[in-house]
Amino acid sequence: MEKDLSNYRKSYEKNELLKKNVPENPMELFQKWFYEVDRFFPEDENNAMTISTIGLDGYPKSRVVLLKKYTFEGFIFYTNYNSEKGKAIAKNPNVCLSFFWHGAERQIIIKGKTEKIAENLSDGYFESRPRGSQLGAMVSNQSEVINNRNVLETKLLNFEKKFEGKEIPRPKFWGGYIVKPIEMEFWQGRPNRLHDRIRYTLQKDYNWKIDRLSP
């Protein structure tokens, strides 16, 4: 099998990113960019982000998760703590997040350290989820091998009967993580592959060093 993709080309010409115009804190720029892409491209799932971890086998692995909240402290998402990513984070909390907003020709790459959020915060978010999503979290032993989909459907029916008319508690193996950034790079596509790249690096005094990178 072979397919030559060398002629797949696109010229990026929608915007610019200049060091003199960026704020001192990268979370302010993240908020500005997120607001813009969410406003102009509402049909996209703009909170979808790729998280890369170092697996127990030593290999990096990336997958898409959904950002559910961001603050000046970091980026929050939810998952099964016993999943492949959860086990990887428990061993090595250093991760990389990335957003690619193709409509805006923008990318953000974030290096950070991951921590579990407080249990009451996970409880609050779990309570806000649709009932089907709550049951789904209980049903799935995420990343474990199963024989067929019937296994999931049967477990779902059993849990539906068990919690019929009752409140569904958050499973202890499911909850939130916050990724606290130590480096954030903002990438804006430009013509001739001379893209704008601005990198923020957290310093020991908790201020951010700002550099422009060559594309």
* Distance, CA of 202 to CA of 130 (rounded, Å): 38
Catalytic (active-site) positions: 193
Q: Which residues of 160-179 are buried (b: 16+ CB within 10 A; e: fewer)?
A: eeeeeeeebebbeebbbbbb
Paired tokens of 138: 């209980």
Answer whether 95's CB lies under 8 Å from 52's CB: yes
CA distances from 25 to 55, 178, 213 (A): 31, 18, 17
